Amino acid sequence: MNTSLRKMKKSLASLLSVTLAVSLFLSMSPAAAASELAPAGVTAAASKSVSMPLTNPGFEDSASGAAIPGWSSMFAVKEGEYTYAVSTENSHSGNQSLKITDTSQSNSVALMSGKLDITSGVTYTVTASVYMEESGTASLNLRYFDAADKSIAEKPLHNDTSKGFPVKQWTSASTSLEAPANAAYARIILYTTAYSRATAYYDDITMSYEQLVQLPGKLALSAPASAEQGDTLSTVLSLTEGADISSVTASIYYDPSMLEIAEVKPAGAFGDSKASFSSDKENGSIRLEGSLPDAIDGDSEIAVMTFNVIADSGSTWLILAKGARLNGMDSVSENVVKLITIGEDSGQPGASLDDFQFGEPEFRTLPISGVVGLMDGEAGIEDGKNVMYTTVKGIPPMFHVVDLDDYRVIRSLPLEGGGEVWNHEIAPDGTVYITSAGQLWAYSPVTKDVKKVYTHPTESVFWCLAIDEAGAVYIGAGPGGRVLKYDPVTKESRDYGIMVDGAGQQYVRSIDYSNGYIYAGTSHSKVYKVNVETGEKVEIASSLNETGYVYDLSIVDDKFLVIRYDTPQKRYIYDLEAGEWLDVVIEKSSSGLHLPKESLNGKIYFPADKKIKTFDIVTHEVADSGMEYETAFRGANWVQVADPDLPGTSLVTMNFSGIIVFFNPQTNTVKRYENILPPSATITHKFVNGPDGKIYVTGMQASKAAAYDIATNTAKTFSMGQAGAVESYGNRMYFGVYPGGDIYEYDLGQPDGTGNPKKLFTLGNGQDRIGASTLAGDKIYFGSVSTYGELGGAISVFDPTAADPSAAYRVFRNVVQDQSVVSLAYKDGKLYGSTSINGGMAVDPKAAEAKLFVWDTVKEEKILETTLDIPGLSNPPAIGGLTFGPDGLLWGGANGYVFALEPNTLQVIKYFNINPADSGTALRWGNYDLAWSKEGILLANLTKKLYAIDPATFEFIELADTESFTLGPDGHLYYAPSFNRTQMYRITMNMAKEPETPGNDRIRFDLAAPAETKTGETFEVTVKAADADLLYSVHSRISYDASKLELVDVAQAGQFAGEGTYMNTALEPGKAVVTSSLTGDRSVIGDTDVLTLSFKALNLIGNASVTLAAGSSWTLANADETGELHHISEDIVKQVSIVKAVAEDVNHDGTVDLLDVMMVAKFVGTAVNEATRGLDINGDGLIDIADLGLVVLKLHSAV
C-alpha cells in the first residue's frame, strides 16, 4: 500500500496538551521520556474560560414587533410556516427563549447576532441551550467576517435528532473555531436549514475563549527510567517556581501488581518540624496533604515516596493525578505520567509502523453468498397470471416477479441505490409500491420498469405501506415516527407529522387504510386513527395496556382492525364500525405483517402457536383451521391457482428463505414450493476468528453465517441469525443473536444440520441485542442492549461446561443505570465494561455520557464506575473496543480517540485523537473494535474507519473504510468495505521492508500507480521489474475497471524503450495484453520499468482497480537454451481512488449550480453505494443535510 498520503506522523509538539505532561511521555519510549523530563511537571500557567459580553443572550429583553434586541433575521419569514418569535412557552432559564418554527423544506429561518469583537488567532466557543420540540435539525454557527464584511470562515453545528440529538429536553450545544488572521468580527447564527423541518427553542447563548492565568507554581514528579526486581525505587514530588506557597494536596497512583509502597516521607520545606504533613496510603494510591506556617517561594521538594519493585519485567507507571492543588488552586489540569521499564526486557513487542508493509486492499470473496433473505411478499395478477412480488436482500436489493401458476421467475430488477425492503403493496391500477430504506419505489406491470419515486428529508426508514381507493400511497416511517402520503398523480407529498408526541426516536411500524382513515401502529405500543383529509389523529389502543411495538396491523373487510404486539406476541381485534376492541386476545401469535384484505367464508386466517387459526367474523370465535405452520407470514393474499391440490381459493405467503407456501382451507392442504429466487450476498455484520483457524462472518438480518477458510479462499455457510457477539470455548462457538437475545451453540466437531447450531437459551430480562462478549476463565460474559422502547442493558454470565445450559446463566441488568453494555474485556478476576447511552430502538437516552465499569466476577458486583476523563472529549455517547495491550493497559476507543487506562483505577495513562471529525453519533451504539498484532501494532476500527497505530508514538495509517474487521490467524486484515458490505477484502500486513511478487523468487514484478486521482484527469500506471538478472521479455496481461477508467495509451518504458526493443499490444475494453521484449544479444540486470499505461479517470467516483494478472509471463536471456518460461502466480492489484475535481460538482458539468443541489437533495437520508458515492460530499458514509449544506455553501461562495 502506498501510505505516503495517508500516513500521519505526529511530532511531539502536536501531541502536547496545555500541560505538556501526559502526551510527551506517550510519544517516547519509557526510558527516553524519563530522561527527557526528569523532573517533569506541569506549567505554572493554566487557562480559564472568559465570557464575552453579548446583547440579549437569553432573549429576556422585550421585543418590539418582529425585532429582537441584539438579533436580526437573515431571511424573509412567513407566518405559520417558517418564522421566529420570542417565546414564554419554554425556557432554559429566565422567562423567555427564542422559538424557531420551520415547517417548510425549501426555506431557512436564521437569526444572527450583532457584530462581535474578536482577536485573530484566538479560538472562540459559542454555546447554546437547545430544545427540540420534535424530530428535525436545529443549527448553530460561528461565522467570521473580514473588514469588508465578507464571510471568511465558519463552523456550523447541526443538531440532528436522527443522529442522536435529544428531543423534548434542553441540551447544551457548542461549536468552536479559531479566528483567521484577517478576521475583523464574528457573528453567532441560530437557524434551521432549508431542507429540514424543525420546531426549536434557543436560550442562554454564550461566547467565550480560553485565557492563560498564572498559577502559584509547578508540581513535578520524578522517577528513574528503569529498575530491576528487588530494587528500591524512589520518586519525588517537587515544587518549582513557587510563589507564596503555603499548602499542597496531591494524589499519586501506581501499579500495585509491580510496585509495593514502602515509605512516604515529607521533604524540603514540608519536612520541617513546623510543617503539617500527612499521607493516606491505599493499595494503588497515595493521598498527600501538607501545609506550611510560613509561605515559601521558589523550589522545594514536597515528599519522597519509596517503592519495592516486585515484578521481574514489564512496564509500569506512576501518576500525579490531575486536580492536585497549590494554595487551594487546581494546579494540575491533566494527569502527569511516569513510565518505568522493569528488567532489561519490558516484555512488550517493539515494532513500529515503519517496520511494516501494508498491501493494497484486495477482494477475496462474498462470505455469505448463495443466500435468499426477504422480508415481505405481495400476490397479484400480471398479464393474466397469478404472481408474487418480492425483493431479496442484497446490494442492490433485487425485485422479483414470480409466476405462481407455472412457478418460475418472470423477471428480476435491481433497486439501484436502495436499502432494506420491508413492504410491498399493490395499487388499484396494478402498480406495485416498494419501501426500500428511506425510499419509495414503484414497479409498473405495464412497462415492466421499476423506479424510485419519493424520499423524505429526515425519515431514513420506510417501514410499511397502505394505499387508498384513489391510489394514494401512505407510508409509516422512522426514526421520526411520521405518517407520510405520496400522490402518484400530482407527485406531491404530505407529512401528517409525528404520531407519538415527545417520544423522540420512534417508528410507525405498521399501517393500513379504510374509508378515509389511516390506522398506524407505532413502536411505542400506540395505534392512531388519522383522518387523511384533516390530519386529525386519535389514539385508540391505550385501553389495551400493552407495551412494545405494534408490528402487524391489517384491516379486513373494512370492518375489523387486526393488530399484533411483538413483545407479548398477542393479537387484538378492533371493530371499526362499533369503535371498540372485541373481547378477543390471541396468545402466541406469529407475525403476519399484512393479512388478506377480505375474509373467506366468514373467517379471517392468521398464524398463531405454530398453527393457522381462524377468527369467525360473526361469532368472534377463534379456532384451529386444521393446518399447521411453524413460522410467520411475510404478507398473505388469497389466490386461485390451477392446481388440483389447491381447489378454489388458497392463501399464499412466503418465508424468509424464499419458500412459497399455499394454505387451502377447503382441503386443509399446506403445500410448499422450494425457493427459485436467485440468491444474493448477505450484508456482513461481524468478523471473528474461530478456534479452527477460520474466520467466522455473521450477517445482518440474516439466516446464515459463514466459516471462511483462509488457505483455500472459500466460505462455507451454516444456519445462524444476526449475531452481534461470537465467542469460542474449546471446539464450540457461541453466538448472541438478535432479535430476542438468544444464545446459540455451534459445535465444530459435529456435522451441520438438525441440532447444530442449536439454541441454548434466551437472556430475557428485557435484553434484545447482544453486541459484546469475552471469555473469562471457564465462563463467557455477554454485553447487551435492551429491547425496543427500553433503557437498561446487561451483562450476562454463562457456564459452557454445564450439563443444562438453560440453568447455567445469570443476567445482571442496569450494571450502569439506563445504559447498554457494548464492550467487555477480562483480566485477573475482573470484568471491564463500557457502555452506550442509547438503549433499544425508539427510546431516548437519559444519560449524557457513556461510562466505564469494573465487575468483580467472584462477588458478582460492580466495584467501580467512572467516566472517561480525556481533555477535549466531552460526553461521548459510546465507549468501546476494550482490550488489554501488551503493556498491561486497558485500551479502548471513543469518538475519534484511542486511549489507554490503568486497570485498577481506570485513570487515563495516554490518549490521542485520531479523527477529530468523529463526533461518536454516526452509529447508535458506537462502533469501536481494537486488536493487537503479534508485533504490538494496534489495529483500531473507530466508527467507520480502520487504522493501524503505533501505541508508543501514536503514528497512524488510515487503512480502509469499514464497520467490521478481524486480524486473521495469518496476521493479515480481513474486513467488509463500507462501499459494499457483502464483500470480504484483505490487506496484507508483513514485516518485510520490500514487497515480494507472489510466486517468483528471482524477479519481483509490481505496479506503480497513484493512490488518488480526480475525475477527468489522466494518470499513469507502470509495470516494474526489480532485482532482474538477465531479464529479456515480458508478457503482461492487464485488466482494469472500464466503467471508471479509459485506457488512453500504452508506451514502452525503462530499458524496454528505445532502440533494440519491441512491443506489441492487443486491446479491448477492460483489458490490455502487451508483449515487451529486447532484441539481439541484450538483457536487463537490476531494476527497470517495463511499460507505462496512461488512463483517464471517467466521471464515476470510487475505487478503480488495475491488475497485472496471474499468468503474466517472462523469460530470461537464456530461455532459448533452458526452455524455462516463468509466470506470475497471483494477481498484482493496484487501487486508485477517483474523487471529483470539485466535490460539490456532483453532475460533473464543471459548475456548481442548483442542479447539483437538487441531485444531493433527492438522496438525502439514504445510505451510500457505488452509484451515489459522489453525493457524499463530506465522506461520512451518509447522504444527509450536511452534504446538502456543503453544496449550497459552495454555490453561495461562487455568487
CATH number of the domain residue 196 falls in: 2.60.120.260
* Lookup: cell for 1078: 529486447
pLDDT tens by residue, 518-528: 999 998 899 99
E runs forming strands in 456-610: 461-467, 473-478, 482-486, 493-498, 508-514, 517-522, 527-531, 537-539, 550-556, 560-565, 570-575, 580-586, 603-608
pLDDT band for 7, please (50, 70, 90 cuts). Answer: very low
Whether residue 510 is predicted with pLDDT greater than 70 in this model: the reply is: yes
C-alpha 684: how far from chain center: 13
- Model pLDDT, residue 1199: 54
What DSSP string runs through 971-1023? S-EEEEETT-TT-EEEE-EE--SS---TT-SS-EEEEE--SEEETT-EEEEEE
**pLDDT of the residue at 15:** 34
Q: Check residue 47 and give its pLDDT.
A: 67
d(CA 483, CA 10): 50
CB 230 within 8 A of CB 288: no
Q: Which cell goes with 590?
A: 406469529
Q: In this structure, how many other beta carbons lie within 10 angstroms of the beta carbon of residue 1199?
A: 4
Final residue in a domain of this structure, among 1114, 1139, 1164: 1139
Contact in structure between 208 and 118 (CB atoms under 8 Å): no
> Domain containing 1064 — which CATH number?
2.60.40.680
The string of DSSP codes covering 418-481 is ---EEEEEE-TTSPEEEEETTEEEEE-TTT--EEEEEE-SS--EEEEEEE-TT--EEEEEESB-
In the block, residue with C-alpha cell 367464508: 601
Mean pLDDT, residues 505-510: 86
Mark whether 277 and 204 lie in a shared domain: no
The residue segments making up the domain with residue 269 are: 215-347
Share of the chain above pLDDT 70, in %: 92
pLDDT(918) > 80: yes
- Which residue in 1034, 1019, 1017, 1022 sits closest to 1092, CA to CA? 1022
486: closest CA among 418, 425, 528?
A: 425
pLDDT at 44: 52
Highest mean pLDDT among 547-551, 604-608, 915-919, 1016-1020 belongs to: 604-608
Predicted pLDDT of residue 388: 98
368 three-class SS: coil
| DSSP string over 1057-1079 | SSTTEEEEEEEETTEEEEEEEE-
| Run of H or E including 1156 | helix 1154-1161
Q: Is the peptide bond before 757 cis (omega within 30 degrees of 0)?
A: yes
Which stretch of 414-423, 547-556, 648-657, 837-846 has the lowest confidence by average pLDDT?
837-846
Question: Is pLDDT larger for residue 910 or for residue 833?
Answer: 833
In the prediction, which pLDDT does 1184 show? 83
800, part of any domain: yes
Each residue's pLDDT tens digit, 668-714: 999 999 999 999 999 999 999 999 999 999 999 888 999 999 989 99
CB count within 10 Å of CB 561 equals 24
Q: Which residues contact 517 (CB under 8 A, 6 or more apart)?
A: 529, 530, 531, 532
Position 160 pLDDT exceeds 70: yes
User: Looking at 944, 968, 990, which one is the last position of a domain?
Assistant: 990
pLDDT at 348: 60
Tell me, what's the pLDDT at 32?
29
What gap in Å lies between CA 423 and CA 743, rounded to an integer?
29
In terms of domains, do 403 and 318 share one?
Answer: no
Q: Which residues on neighbouring strands pair with residue 531, listed in sequence order?
A: 517
Asked if the structure places residue 39 within a domain, the reply is: no
738-781 residue pLDDT tens: 999 999 999 999 999 889 999 999 999 999 999 999 999 999 99
Query: Looking at the structure, do residues 1130 and 1168 belong to the same domain, yes or no?
Result: no
Q: Which are the contacts of 589, defined by CB distance < 8 A and separation ≥ 6? A: 564, 569, 570, 571, 606, 607, 608, 609
Instruction: Give residue 5's pLDDT.
Output: 34
DSSP secondary structure of 787-826: -TT----EEEEE-TT-S-GGGSEEEEETSSTT-EEEEEEE
The answer to whether position 730 is within a domain reads yes
**Position with higher pLDDT, 196 vs 1094:** 1094
- Check whether residue 699 and residue 557 sit in a common domain: no
- Which of 208-222, 562-576, 982-996 shows the lowest mean pLDDT across its residues? 982-996
> In terms of Cα–Cα distance, which of 971, 949, 967 is closest to 958?
949
pTM over 0.75, yes/no: no
Same domain? 219 vs 206: no
Q: What is the pLDDT of residues 948-996, one digit of tens each?
A: 999 988 999 999 999 999 999 999 999 999 999 999 999 999 875 443 3
Say whether both 1036 and 1105 belong to one domain. yes
For position 502, what pLDDT does the model report? 66
Rounded CA-CA distance 732/789 in Å is: 34
Summarised one tens digit per residue, pLDDT across range 727-741 is: 999 889 999 999 999
Do residues 932 and 941 lie in contact, with contact meaning Cβ atoms separated by under 8 Å?
A: no
Q: Are strands 890-894 and 722-729 parallel, antiparallel or unpaired?
A: unpaired
Strands 198-214 and 123-132: antiparallel
- pLDDT of 11 reads 32
- Is 1048 in the same domain as 1065? yes
The band of 19, judged by pLDDT with boundaries at 50, 70 and 90, is very low
Residue 208 sits in the same domain as residue 222: no
| pLDDT: which is higher, 1068 or 483 | 483
Antiparallel, parallel or unpaired: β 1126-1127 and 1113-1116: antiparallel
Provide the CB-side half-sphere exposure for 1112 (13 A, CA).
34
Q: What is the mean pLDDT of residues 624-633?
A: 93
192 lies in some domain: yes
pLDDT at 842: 74
Residues 724 and 794 in one domain: yes
Counted domains in the chain: 6
Q: What is the mean pLDDT of residues 660-671?
A: 97
For residues 1021 and 1008, give the distance between their C-alpha atoms in angstroms, rounded to a whole number: 6
Collect all residues with Cβ–Cβ distance below 8 Å to 363 and sequence separation of at least 6: 983, 984, 985
Q: Pick from 213, 241, 259: which residue ends a domain?
A: 213
CA 114 to chain centre: 39
CATH number at residue 772: 2.130.10.10
> Of all helices (H) and strands (E), which one includes residue 104?
none
Within-domain flag for 799: yes
Could you tell me if 980 and 925 lie in one domain? yes
Check residue 17 and give its pLDDT: 30
Decide if pLDDT at 28 tops 70.
no
**What average pLDDT does the chain have?**
89
CB 216 within 8 A of CB 330: no
The predicted structure's pLDDT at residue 564? 95
**Within-domain flag for 11:** no
- Measured CA to CA, the distance from residue 378 to residue 431 in angstroms comes to 12
| CB-based contacts of 48, cutoff 8 Å, min separation 6 | 210, 211, 213
Do 275 and 420 lie in one domain? The reply is no
| Confidence band of 36 (pLDDT split at 50, 70, 90) | very low
**Locus of grid cell 509561605:** 295
For residue 483, with 0-12 CB atoms within 10 Å meaning exposed, 13-18 middle and 19 or more buried, which class applies?
Answer: buried
End-to-end CA distance of the chain: 41
* Neighbour count for residue 209 (Cβ, 10 Å): 18
pLDDT top residue among 977 and 1137: 977
What type of residue is 879?
I
Q: Let me know if residue 662 belongs to a domain.
A: no
CATH of the domain at 1181: 1.10.1330.10
**848, three cell numbers:** 449524557
Residue 739 maps to a domain: yes
Residue 338 to residues 26, 554, 917: CA-CA distances in angstroms?
10, 67, 30
Query: Do 387 and 673 contact (CB within 8 A), yes or no?
Result: no
What is d(CA 86, CA 68) in angstroms, rounded to the nearest whole number? 8
Percent of the chain having pLDDT more than 90?
Answer: 65
Q: Are residues 964 and 1022 in the same domain?
A: no
Q: Which DSSP letter does residue 269 get?
A: G
Most confident of 611-615, 678-682, 1101-1105: 611-615
Let me know the angle formed at the C-alpha of 50 by 49 and 51, rounded to the nearest 5 degrees.
120
In this prediction, residue 542 carries a pLDDT of 93
Segment 1025-1060, tens digit of pLDDT: 988 889 999 999 999 988 889 999 999 999 999 888
